[in-house]
Amino acid sequence: MADKAILQVGDKKIELPIIEGVDGSKAIDISQLLAQTGLTSYDPSLGNTAICKSAITYIDGDKGILRYRGIPIEQFTAQPKPNFVEAAWLLIFGRLPNKAELAEFRQQLIDNELLHEGIKDQFQHIPADAPPMAILSATMNNLACFHKQFLEVEKPEGLVAAAARLISKVRTIAAFSYRRSRGLPFIYPDPGLRYCANFLHMMFSLPYKQYIVTPEIEDALNMIFILHADHEQNCSTSAVRVVGSARANLFASCAAGVSALWGPLHGGANVEVINMLERIYQGGISPEQCIRDAKDKNNSFRLFGFGHRVYRNFDPRAKILKESCDRVLAKMHRQDPLLDIARRLEELALSDPYFVERKLYPNVDFYSGILLRAIGIPTNMFTVCFAIGRLPGWIAQWKEQHDDTSSKILRPRQVYIGAQVTDYVPMEQR
């Protein structure tokens, strides 16, 4: 393919450079389009637009490929699998940590797992039925009030310290929001527990009875967090980049990511999937009716957990999660009728021309909720768990943009379709 594109506007012809990714994918560089033609481009969902060059995560939507810093996602779930903290370090710093680096990062997470008592006290004034994602976004921003030294993250060591605080404290914030919602006393983190086990301890232990984390549950949560850790320029990551491009601090930028992830078309889909499966199971609608509703343009219903902006094949994470559901439920000697319904929906959809023609396959959210349920996570905490997993990816993407001295504030343009010039009309003349 040529290394430039020719654009003809009226009798003017301009050349636009074509840049190439390491996978051979190409992009037309239009960064000089407005200067050269006086025209902007129009791509409202940004589905045709690369907003950055990134070395963190690679996705091939047609082949169903996902790699973190080049390592295929499947290798994170096969033995000897890395744990979530190791995957977080890889995403943020660009390579696998050596033993000393991993031990030091783990120690930083331990040293920063407590919340400032001032933040803890604030939970008492939050309504018990407050949405956990609202609490997470607000409290993540609130961290900046108690750790002012990390508002300035120009120094590399400041970024590592801020990242460690966020990755460690996000569990405590999440667990405390759950305990508050149930009127339970807060359980403080236990420095002797690994990352995921500590989160489950804070969620489910009682003052008089330690929650015993079984290996299969710890393993399942570790895998869920890793599978959600990054996904290139998805909606919430782009929100983190937009906020971070204004040189806003890491806490504020990641709080914006939490807010975007909350949407039911994005991270909130894992809650909608379980609600959909529950409705079917409780007899509200049948799988067949669900499929019909999803295809009916006059029906706003969507088959949650299906479809993806990038994957036009199976989401590799969905495959791994589907296999894990079987394994974890079997190890726990449990069955979940919702899994059978999910399988039936998948079977119906994958053989239905509507879904096949539109290349709609199960995405990461279709099976993740069933696994989270098996672990005992309440439905309203599913998207919070997605955010805990995605946090290292947001930090990595924020750091990559922050370290790129050529990066500028993200400020898209528009096509104006409003009123022509007009005059103000005084109230007495309206």
Q: Are the CB atoms for 16 and 3 separated by under 8 Å? A: no
- What is the sign of the dihedral through the CA atoms of 61, 399, 146 and 172? positive
Among 294, 320, 321, 388, the residue binding ligand SDX under the rule CB under 6 A is 294
Reduced 3-state DSSP string for 59-99 = EECCCCEEEECCEEHHHHCCCCCCCHHHHHHHHHHCCCCCH
Active site (annotated) includes residue 365: yes
Strand partners, 65: 60
| 344-377: b (≥16 Cβ within 10 Å) or e | bbbebbeebeebeeeebbbbbbbbbbbbbbbbeb
341/343 Cα distance (integer angstroms): 5
Q: Are the CB atoms for 224 and 389 separated by under 8 Å? A: yes
Q: Closest distance between ligand SDX and the C-beta of residue 264, in Å?
A: 7
Residue with Cβ nearer ligand SDX (206 or 265): 265
4 contact partners, CB below 8 Å, separation of at least 6: 15, 16, 17, 18
Residue with Cβ nearer ligand SDX (317 or 373): 317
**N-to-C CA span, the chain:** 61
Please choose, out of 150-158, 239-247, 360-368, 412-420, the segment that lies near ligand SDX by the rule CB under 6 A. Answer: 360-368
Mark residues 101-140: x for contact with ligand SDX by CB under 6 A, - for none: ----------------------------------------
Active site (annotated) includes residue 308: yes
Residue with Cβ nearer ligand SDX (54 or 234): 234
CB neighbour class for 418 (10 Å; exposed up to 12, middle 13-18, buried from 19): exposed
Please choose, out of 80-88, 118-126, 300-308, 416-424, the segment that lies near ligand SDX by the rule CB under 6 A. Answer: 300-308
- By CB under 6 A, tell whether 359 contacts ligand SDX: no
Please choose, out of 83-91, 98-106, 110-118, 305-313, the segment that lies near ligand SDX by the rule CB under 6 A. Answer: 305-313
Q: Closest distance between ligand SDX and the C-beta of residue 270, in Å?
A: 8
- By CB under 6 A, tell whether 244 contacts ligand SDX: no
Please choose, out of 71-79, 120-128, 136-144, 357-365, the segment that lies near ligand SDX by the rule CB under 6 A. Answer: 357-365
Among 162, 250, 339, 360, the residue binding ligand SDX under the rule CB under 6 A is 360
Please choose, out of 200-208, 281-289, 299-307, 318-326, the segment that lies near ligand SDX by the rule CB under 6 A. Answer: 299-307
Residue with Cβ nearer ligand SDX (280 or 364): 364
215/205 Cα distance (integer angstroms): 16
Strand partners, 67: 58, 72
Please choose, out of 123-131, 203-211, 275-283, 362-370, the segment that lies near ligand SDX by the rule CB under 6 A. Answer: 362-370
37/60 Cα distance (integer angstroms): 33
- By CB under 6 A, tell whether 231 contacts ligand SDX: yes
Among 20, 358, 404, 412, the residue binding ligand SDX under the rule CB under 6 A is 358
Q: Which two tokens stand for residue 391?
A: 């946090």
188/142 Cα distance (integer angstroms): 19
- What is the sign of the dihedral through the CA atoms of 74, 79, 85 and 89? negative
CA atoms within 13 Å, Cβ hemisphere of 148: 1
Q: Closest distance between ligand SDX and the C-beta of residue 308, in Å?
A: 5
Q: Closest distance between ligand SDX and the C-beta of residue 229, in Å?
A: 9
Residue 388 φ/ψ region, left for φ over 0, alpha for ψ in the -120 to 50 degree band, beta for the rest: alpha
Among 64, 244, 257, 305, the residue binding ligand SDX under the rule CB under 6 A is 305
- By CB under 6 A, tell whether 363 contacts ligand SDX: yes
Q: Closest distance between ligand SDX and the C-beta of residue 370, in Å?
A: 14
Residue with Cβ nearer ligand SDX (246 or 356): 356
18/4 Cα distance (integer angstroms): 5
Mark residues 249-278: x for contact with ligand SDX by CB under 6 A, - for none: ----------------xxx-x---------
71 contact partners, CB below 8 Å, separation of at least 6: 90
Residue with Cβ nearer ligand SDX (177 or 368): 368
- The one catalytic residue among 266, 308, 315, 402: 308
Residue 190 φ/ψ region, left for φ over 0, alpha for ψ in the -120 to 50 degree band, beta for the rest: beta
- By CB under 6 A, tell whether 292 contacts ligand SDX: no
Q: Which of residues 181-220 bind ligand SDX (CB under 6 A)?
A: none
Active site residues: 308, 365
Q: Which residues bind ligand SDX (CB under 6 A)?
A: 231, 234-235, 265-267, 269, 294, 302-310, 358, 360, 363-365
